Chains A and B, each alone.
Chain A
Amino acid sequence: MPRPGPVNPSPRPAAGAVLLLVATRKGAWLLHGDAARRRWRLDGPHFHGHSISHLVLDPRDGRTLLAAAKTGHLGPTIFRSTDLGRTWKEASRPPAFAQPTDGSPARSVDHTFWLAPCHTNQPGSWYAGTSPQGLFRSDDGGDTWQPLPGVNDNMTLREWMGTVQDGTPDGPKLHSIVIDPADPAHLLFGMSGGGVHESFDRGATWQTLIGGLEVVEGFDVTQPTFHDPHCIRACPSRSTRLYMQNHCGIYRLDRPSQVWQRIGRKMPRKVGDIGFPMVVHPRDADTAWVFPMDGSDVWPRTSPDGRPAAYVTRNAGRSWQRLDAGLPAEQAWWTVKRQALCADQRNPVGLYLGHTGGEIWMLRDDGGATPPQSWRNIARHLPEIYALETAIPAAD
């Protein structure tokens, strides 16, 4: 049975410069901000022409930077840097599926989609989620990756994953790898599609975590196959609290409960509670942000009515506030992907979005003051943005 984790002491706000890691369809950039978050400097492109799905700095050492890369022609790989991108070295064994010996269909990794550092007490260890869905682990700082048979060779999970045919337009994803800070052996992930699954034995065995989640009308809610989590985040200040943006709404889960509560019902009806990214506050477990997308008929995945806006809850989902000051008021049809909304650890928190039109916008979230701060454009003319992460490099 799931165990409740402790309420964590709230981490202190970070100070100093802010670093944004920008992964795009045509390369990676590092966006350096000054301490005031006023002036920004782009460093890049790194891997010009490569599709970079995710770029993550190891928060445990502040030095190891991993990039999940592929190009239109070449297979997927992982690049590593320990000097903030001045030099890169390719993983000597990138994620690759073990070949089956039982006659089950062989699979090939198309791209690594999600990179997640393991527990704080496991320096150098990482997880990677791939498309098609697979889970991999590295224990040497991302140089060599081993497939986790508890997921990749689990025929029940494989059935729920379906095939590439069942996935999202650019391939089914294993994403949102969340490690319990109270228990290194406890982790969970989401599959689009295929539901949410958690393990208490470092990934050897898995159980589903889909209670309370809804599915598209007419489908069987008890079947993980029909569940489509988009992004799951655990609160740093309260690891027992999870938020999720799902294909069918916004949810919160407070452990040890196993039943997600749909908190998106309180979103404005005209906007709805469909979207991809989910961001939690670094110090306040009642505060979280979403960026709604149009999920009507053919799923345009653009801002509803072409009017982009984030929404914030400051009371764990009982109400939501629209945050659109400074963003285009109309005719803005870009998309914010599930990894392209993030928050820094400063006070006040900086919220950052990257969109498919290649712009990055920042909002100093003032915690509900009236009038709220305005979004400000801090980078433009980049390729389609896949992922955005904040990072705190180690001091030299």
Chain B
Amino acid sequence: MRVLVPSALRSYTGAMWVELDLPALPPATVGAVLDALDARFPGIRFRMVDERGLLRPHMRCFVGGRAVHDLSRPMASGEELHIVQALSGG
């Protein structure tokens, strides 16, 4: 599973792309990918997802070019998760 990481989070990953090995079962979800990302890069998930389990404002996830708001959305084999920081602020 490949994950595209925005510049604001590369202090954790050190790279734009991260390759994660996820078990085939149960089927991965967006939330499971973020959990796996956090297991490898501790603290990264809380910067994106708050304690209620909601994506923080200005953080966006895309799968197959479509925005994902529900972290339980399944990830099919070969799909990539793109994490994007919305343009905001000044």
Stretch touching chain B among A90-98, A177-185, A267-275: A90-98
Tell me if A108 and B54 are in contact (CB < 8 A).
yes
B46 touches A75 (CB 8 A): yes
Count residues on chain A whose CB falls below 8 Å from chain B CBs.
18
Q: Are B9 and A74 in contact (CB under 8 A)?
A: yes
A20 to B62, CA, bound (A): 43
| Cβ-defined contact, A108 with B46, below 8 A | no
| Given A90-B43, A96-B51, A109-B51; A75-B8 close (CB under 8 Å) | no
Contacts of A91 in B (CB 8 A): 43
Give the size range of B's interface with the partner.
20 to 34
> Which residues of B (49-90) have their CB < 8 Å from a CB of A?
49-52, 54, 56, 58-59, 85-86, 88-89
CA–CA, A73 and B90, complex, Å: 12
Residue B42 at the chain A interface, CB threshold 8 Å: yes
Within 8 A of A (CB), among B15-58: 42-43, 46-52, 54, 56, 58
A72 lies within 8 A of B88 (CB): yes
- Say yes or no: A77-B46 contact (C-beta < 8 A), given A72-B58, A99-B51, A99-B52: yes
A74 close to B42 (CB less than 8 A): no
- Determine whether the beta carbon of A77 is less than 8 Å from that of B43: yes
Interface pair A75/B56, CB less than 8 Å apart: yes
Q: Interface readout for A73-84 with B: 1 if CB under 8 Å, 0 if not? A: 111010000000
User: Inter-chain contact count A-B, CB under 8 Å?
Assistant: 51
Would B58 and A73 count as touching, CB distance under 8 A? Answer: yes
Majority SS of interface residues in chain B?
A: loop
Closest to A105 in B: B52
Given contacts A73-B88, A90-B43, A92-B42, A97 and B8 within 8 Å (CB-CB): no
Among A96-118, those with CB < 8 Å from B are 96-99, 106-109
Residues of A within 8 A of B8 (CB): 71, 73-74
For residue B51, which residues in chain A have a CB less than 8 angstroms away from its CB? Answer: 96-99, 106, 108-109
Are B58 and A75 touching (Cβ within 8 A)?
Answer: no
Cβ of B59: which chain A residues have Cβ within 8 Å of it?
Answer: 73-74
Chain B CB count within 10 A is highest, among A73, A97, A106, A109, for: A73
- The answer for the CA separation of A275 and B46 in the assembled complex, in Å, is 35
Whose C-beta in chain A lies nearest to the C-beta of B52? A106
Residues on B with beta carbons closer than 8 Å to the beta carbon of A73: 6, 8, 56, 58-59, 85-86, 88-89
CB distance from B1 to the nearest CB of A (A): 22
A77 touches B47 (CB 8 A): yes
Give every chain B residue within 8 A of A96 (Cβ-Cβ): 46, 50-51
Q: How far is the CA of A97 from the CA of B52 in the complex (A)?
A: 9
Q: Name the A residues within 8 Å of B85 (CB-CB).
A: 73
B43 near A92 (CB under 8 angstroms)? yes
Residues of B near A94 (CB, < 8 A) are: 43, 46
**Closest A residue to B89 using CB positions:** A72
Smallest beta-carbon distance B50→chain A, Å: 4
**A97 vs B46: C-alpha distance when bound (angstroms):** 12
Additional A-B contact list (5), CB under 8 Å, known A73-B6, A108-B50: A71-B8, A74-B48, A96-B51, A106-B51, A108-B54
A-B complex: 10 closest residue pairs judged by Cβ atoms: A72-B89, A108-B50, A74-B47, A96-B51, A73-B85, A106-B52, A73-B58, A75-B47, A90-B43, A73-B8
Residues in A lying within 8 Å of B, measured CB to CB: 71-75, 77, 90-92, 94, 96-99, 106-109
Q: List 18 A-B contacts (CB under 8 A).
A: A71-B8, A73-B58, A73-B89, A74-B8, A75-B47, A75-B50, A75-B56, A77-B46, A90-B43, A92-B42, A94-B43, A96-B50, A97-B51, A98-B51, A99-B51, A108-B51, A109-B50, A109-B51
